[in-house]
Amino acid sequence: MFQKILIANRGEIALRIVRACREMDIKTVGVFSDIDRNLIHLRDVDQKVALGGNSPAESYLNIDKILKACFLTKADAVHPGYGFLSENVLFVQKLQENGIAFIGPSVNVLQKMKNKLSAKKIIHDSGVPVVPGSLEVVNTLQEAKKIASEINFPFMMKACLGGGGRGIRVVENDKNLEEAFKSARREAKMAFGNEEIYIEKILDNARHIEVQILADRFGKTIHLGERECSLQRRRQKILEEAPSPFLNDNLRKKICDAAVKAAEALEYSTCGTMEFLVTDDQRFYFMELNARIQVEHPITEMISGVDILREQIQLASGEPLQLNINQFNQRGHAIEMRINAEDPFRNFIPAPGFIKNYETPRGPGIRIDSHCYSGYEIPSFYDSLIAKLVVWDTDRIHAIRRSREALHSFVVEGVPTTIPFHLKILQNDDFLRGVFHTRFIEDEIEDI
Of 50, 51, 47, 49, the residue nearest 26 (C-alpha): 47
| Strand bridging mode 4-7 / 333-340 | unpaired
DSSP tally for the chain: helices H, then strands E: 14, 22
Looking from the CA of 6 toward its CB, the CA atoms found within 13 Å total 29
Report the largest interatomic distance among the alpha carbons of the chain, rounded to a whole angstrom.
61
The residues that are catalytic are 292
- Alpha carbons 262 and 119: distance in angstroms, whole number: 10
From 388, 394, 389, select the one nearest 333 (Cα to Cα): 394
> What does the radius of gyration of the chain's CA atoms come to, in whole angstroms?
22
What is the bridge-based pairing of β-strands 284-290 and 270-278? Answer: antiparallel
Distance CA 112, CA 146 (A): 27
Distance of CA 361 to the CA centre of its chain: 25
Torsions phi, psi of 395, nearest 5?
-155, 175
The residues near 252 (Cβ < 8 Å, ≥ 6 apart) are 225, 226, 243, 244
Distance CA 117, CA 151 (A): 17
- Please state, as a whole number, how many other Cβ atoms lie within 10 Å of the Cβ of residue 380: 13
Sheet holding 197-201, edge to edge: 166-171, 155-163, 197-201
Q: Report whether 287 contacts 276 (CB < 8 A).
A: yes
Phi-psi category of 187—alpha, beta or left, where left has phi over 0 and alpha has psi -120 to 50? alpha
CB-based contacts of 184: which residues, under 8 Å, 6+ apart?
A: 157, 158, 159, 167, 168, 169, 197
Give the integer Cα–Cα distance in Å for 424 and 231. 13
* CA–CA dist 313, 225 (Å, integer): 20
In this structure, are strands 357-359 and 197-201 parallel, antiparallel, or unpaired? unpaired
